[in-house]
Amino acid sequence: MNTTSCQSIYFSFQTRFLPPVYVLVFIIGLVANGWGLKSLKHNWKKLGNISIFVLNLGLADVLYLLTLPFLIIYYYFTGTKWIFGVAFCKFTRFCFNVNLYCSIGFLTCISVYRYLAIVHPMRVMGRLTVTHSVAISVLVWLLVSVQSLPDMVFPKTLSNQTEKCFDTTSEEYVEDYLKYSLGWTFVGFCLPSLIILGCYGHVIVFLCYKKNIDEVLKQRSLKYLMVLILLFSVCYIPYHVLKNLNLLSRVLTKHKICHEWSNGVYIAHQICRGVVCLNSALNPLVYLHVNENIFTQLRHFLQRICFSVMELSSSSQQAVVLEMHTKESGLQQ
């Protein structure tokens, strides 16, 4: 620990790392969610009440994906100079929080519904209606929006200029933001994670000890559990841990208490900021879980692309042959 001077932080790392990640997430996310929502439309009745949550999960992803082009311009083309105004800066950060915690919320709802349908099918039969799913979805949106509003109160720009657009807040308010972040992490991440863990822990135990359970149901439940493990281990857990560690590092640095790990934590946090955005591209894996025909659709989709490419190539070759034949006819004349 050093209490005199702190080592410099590699702030330019985010301008090198985040733009290509955002471009990748934007392209893959739009394609995957568009394809997933189309698949959801064809399987709406088959999925039952869960389809409401899957639809809202896709809408939350699309809402955030549409803000990525502005962040790409900010981090790459303008040299971290925000040119879209303070209000829109706060809106983009608000969309990020809404997407992140609505995704966790709707994944939690899907897990609870699947738990009830598998472990307590007779108790919930006919009691969980579309109205309940819609009401719960609206409640998730409202709770996440209300809990994200304080983030918009914190300044996202420096007091003497508006060229920056912080993902958290300025140094002046970093202590208060750390407290807010810890509370948000507990309510928006830890509690839903415990609910999901409890639901699927019970489901796995139930499926393992019940002999008359359909094997297809077991496989689908295990696949969905693997999707959740992938999302939480890759996107959510590292982001929340590194975000709060980075805020703590900023608080200590502000008070001239320096640690050798500060720069490493900052870089790791920037990496996690990019990786957590992948949830918008990985969430459509839920469609893979709820739709058994998705791989058949994917195969047909790829076959249509190959056929179109071959047809286009054949047309081009015919045009070339026709042009050469025309030229030869002209020379002979």
pLDDT at 1 (0 to 100): 46
Q: What is the mean pLDDT of residues 108-127?
A: 83
String of DSSP letters for 123-183: HHTTTS-HHHHHHHHHHHHHHHHHHHHHHHHS--S-TT-S----SS--GGGHHHHHHHHHH
- Computed over every residue of the chain, the mean pLDDT equals 81
For 156-184, what is each residue's pLDDT tens digit? 876 555 578 889 998 889 999 999 999 99
For 173-221, what is each residue's pLDDT tens digit? 999 999 999 999 999 999 999 999 898 888 888 877 777 766 666 677 7
pLDDT at 123 (0 to 100): 79
Q: Model confidence at 114, in pLDDT bands (50, 70, 90)? A: confident
Are 228 and 196 in contact, with CB atoms under 8 Å apart?
Answer: yes
C-alpha 31/C-alpha 93 separation (Å) is 23
pLDDT at 270 (0 to 100): 92
C-alpha 273/C-alpha 238 separation (Å) is 9
pLDDT at 320 (0 to 100): 42
**Tokens 């042959």 belong to residue:** 321
pLDDT at 121 (0 to 100): 80
| Homologous superfamily of the 13-292 domain (CATH) | Rhodopsin 7-helix transmembrane proteins (1.20.1070.10)
Global pTM reads 0.82
Are 275 and 299 in contact, with CB atoms under 8 Å apart?
Answer: no
Sketch the domain layout of the chain as residue ranges. 13-292, 302-333
Amino acid at 299: R
Which residues are 2's β-sheet partners?
258
Q: Looking at 34-48, 136-150, 172-186, 221-235, which range is the least confident one?
A: 34-48
Are 106 and 60 in contact, with CB atoms under 8 Å apart?
Answer: yes
Q: Distances in Å between the alpha carbon of 305 and those of 34, 83, 99, 310, 311?
A: 17, 40, 32, 9, 10
* DSSP code at position 328: H
Q: What is the mean pLDDT of residues 69-89?
A: 86
pLDDT at 319 (0 to 100): 47
Asked if the model's pLDDT at residue 326 lies above 60, the reply is no
Query: What is the number of helices (H) and of strands (E) in the chain?
Result: 15, 0
Q: Model confidence at 279, in pLDDT bands (50, 70, 90)? A: confident
Query: Quick one: what percent of the chain has pLDDT higher than 90?
Result: 36
C-alpha 245/C-alpha 239 separation (Å) is 10
Is residue 247 classed as helix, strand or coil in its secondary structure?
Answer: helix
Q: Model confidence at 104, in pLDDT bands (50, 70, 90)? A: very high
Q: What is the mean pLDDT of residues 23-34?
A: 90
pLDDT at 25 (0 to 100): 92
